[in-house]
Structure 1
Amino acid sequence: MNTHYDSTILRPRLTIIIALASLLFACASPTVRQQFDFGGIAVESDTKLSTTKVNPKLNILLAEIQVPSSLEGTAMLYRLQYDNSQELRPYAQSRWSMPPAQLLKQRIKTQINQQGGTVLATSDGVKNLPILRLELEEFAQHFTSTNQSQVQLRWRASLINQNQLLAQRIFQAQAKCDSADAKGGAKAMPLATDMAITELIGWLQTQVK
């Protein structure tokens, strides 16, 4: 019996086997993509609210939050301060669950509502309420070294009533990340956001009569 095999016959068979094995491996190990949101906000009891919330309730219109093109999508962005602080880089396999402007809008509405206030959209057609316009300028994780980082955010707030600018101010906050990765940034960003929103609400309560 002739046991000699022609290599020209074996070669295409091996190619097919390798291709099938690669395909099966790719299907068995898909790319994992993480999505993060801001999580929930602790709800205070009615008794605590009635004894601690002495500031006037806010009733405002919130315009659509303006963002630069880099913040229009759901990418989680970071900067390497030790390499090139002017370059915004996206995480490859981690995303926000919605664009930063939507996360911020949702958080502002929730916090004002918890204090007994009301937030409506400018598209709701309600008149005679002051309009809050926000321009989100920074919303990223900053790495000072390969294993240390903090999130930083900054927005410009303008309060308008009857087409007149009442006040304008820049708000910014930062929070240290407990891990130098996307998960650490996702955990720290809501903390920094809440600090800036608390300051924003206090400012609004001094401006809205």
Structure 2
Amino acid sequence: MNSSRLTITTVTRASFALVIASLLFACATPVTHQQFDFGSTSITTNNSASNKLKILLAEIQVPASLEGSAMLYRLQYENAQELRPYAQSRWSMPPAQLLKQRIKTHINQAGGAVLAASDGVKNLPLLKLELEEFSQHFSSPTQSQVQLRWRASLINNNQLIAQKVFQTQTRCESADAKGGAQAMPQATDLAIGELIAWLQTQVTSNTVSNPVRN
């Protein structure tokens, strides 16, 4: 009888020790985080007119939720108003920096020029962007698309020349962070193409010298 109790006690202690060891190992094992950027910056543009586009680009304004490098998503089928971050996936830099790099690449590779106000160049129109949405939306557990939305304001001599909201969405190949990371650059390129066409129209239609609100 005593031998039976001893055996049960020994097994129980061994099981408890195994559980503790497993927990300690899990705590000691570092969590792997994935970082995503927009990939190659070699861009082919169909907008040949953008080679004459020269603008000043202000720092892109973002809401508090987009100040960091978190990758955000919404479960439309559960609670579309809740913006959630992926636990183990992040952007390589904040969205505003990713967008700024991409815009400069598009215009510069087409022969245009994008300068900052700090460069000291005057008499160029100033582009201000307010990023409003930069996230992945899940319509179901297996289907998602990225949503991108920003408000663009073109300013010259402290006067508003034109203003427009740009919004694009692109379907994700997979319903996860990797799918969102692959789709967001595509949505961004579409929005930038529309932005460049709009800017070119505003700049070349003499609206800089004759301000008209759009």
TM-score by structure 1 length? Answer: 0.85
Which structure 1 segments of 5+ residues have no match?
A: 6-10
1:152 aligns with 2:147: yes
Say if 2:51 and 2:110, in contact at 8 Å, map to a contact too.
no
Q: Which residue of 1 aligns with 2:36?
A: 36
Q: Which residue of 1 aligns with 2:27?
A: 26
Aligned residue pairs total 199
1:124 CA drift (Å): 1.9
Change (3 A) 1:135 1:92: same
Say if 2:57 and 2:126, in contact at 8 Å, map to a contact too.
yes
Identity of aligned residues (%): 68
1:24 CA drift (Å): 3.8
Matched letter for residue 111 of structure 1 = H
2:14, 2:176 → 1: CA distance?
Answer: 44
3-state secondary structure, aligned to 1:128 = coil
Q: Which residue of 1 aligns with 2:210?
A: none
CA RMSD of superposed structures (Å): 2.7
Say if 2:50 and 2:107, in contact at 8 Å, map to a contact too.
no
Q: Which residue of 2 aligns with 1:208?
A: 203
Q: Which residue of 1 aligns with 2:53?
A: 58
Residue deviations 1:116-137, cap 9 Å, x none?
Answer: 0111111222211110000000
1:54 CA drift (Å): 4.2
Equivalent positions of 1:103-182 (< 5 A) are: 103-182=98-177
Residue deviations 1:69-90, cap 9 Å, x none?
Answer: 0111111111111111111111
Matched letter for residue 23 of structure 1 = L
2:99, 2:58 → 1: CA distance?
Answer: 12
1:18, 1:184 → 2: CA distance?
Answer: 36
Which structure 2 segments of 5+ residues have no match?
A: 7-11, 205-214
Change (3 A) 1:16 1:149: closer
